[in-house]
Amino acid sequence: MKMIDAAEFKETIKTGTTLVDFFAEWCGPCKMLGPVLEELDSEYPDVKFVKVNVDDNMDLAGEYGIMSIPQVYIFKDGEVAGKMGGYRDAGGVRAFIDETVK
């Protein structure tokens, strides 16, 4: 998964479907979710998977109202299509993606 910052964010989500993992290095549930998202990245070739470190991009986290992490957003052509908070196993994340991307 590619790590992006606020400068790359708008361009990255502008077209297509993008899953954004808002996380922090110190966050235990974020560390658990990371490998799940890495695994699912290859299952969804039409979805871009990226990570945003909220500690390094506080303005961006504030813009999207990120109050707790991990938060996973799915954007379709720049618009928020779905949000998922907290840790989920691969089945839970897959269900979220399938429901949101359909």
| Per-residue model confidence as pLDDT tens digits over 30-58 | 999 999 999 999 999 999 999 999 999 99
Q: List CB contacts of 85: < 8 A, sequence separation 6 or more.
A: 68, 70, 71, 72
Catalytic residue among 4, 13, 19, 30: 30
Cα 10 from Cα 54, distance rounded (Å)? 15
Q: Look at residue 79 and tell me if it is in a domain.
A: yes
Is 14 inside any structural domain? yes
CA distance 38 to 51: 10
Q: How far apart are the first and last CA of the chain?
A: 22
Per annotation, catalytic residue among 13, 19, 20, 27: 27
Query: Looking at the domain assignment, is residue 93 inside a domain?
Result: no
Looking at residue 20, which CATH number applies to its domain? Answer: 3.40.30.10
26 is catalytic: no
Flag whether 94 is in a domain: no
Average pLDDT of the residues in 11-32 = 97
Q: Is residue 35 domain-resident?
A: yes
Tokens (6 digits) for 1: 């998964």
Domain tally, the chain? 1
Name every residue whose Cβ is closer than 8 Å to that of residue 78 and which is 6 or more positions away in sequence: 10, 13, 14, 15
- Strand order across the beta sheet in which 2-3 lies: 2-3, 47-53, 17-23, 71-76, 79-85
Domain enclosing residue 20, as ranges: 2-87
What is the per-residue pLDDT for 38?
A: 96
Instruction: Verify whether residue 27 is a known catalytic residue.
Output: yes
- Residue 39 lies inside a defined structural domain of this protein: yes
What whole-number percentage of the chain has pLDDT above 90? 99
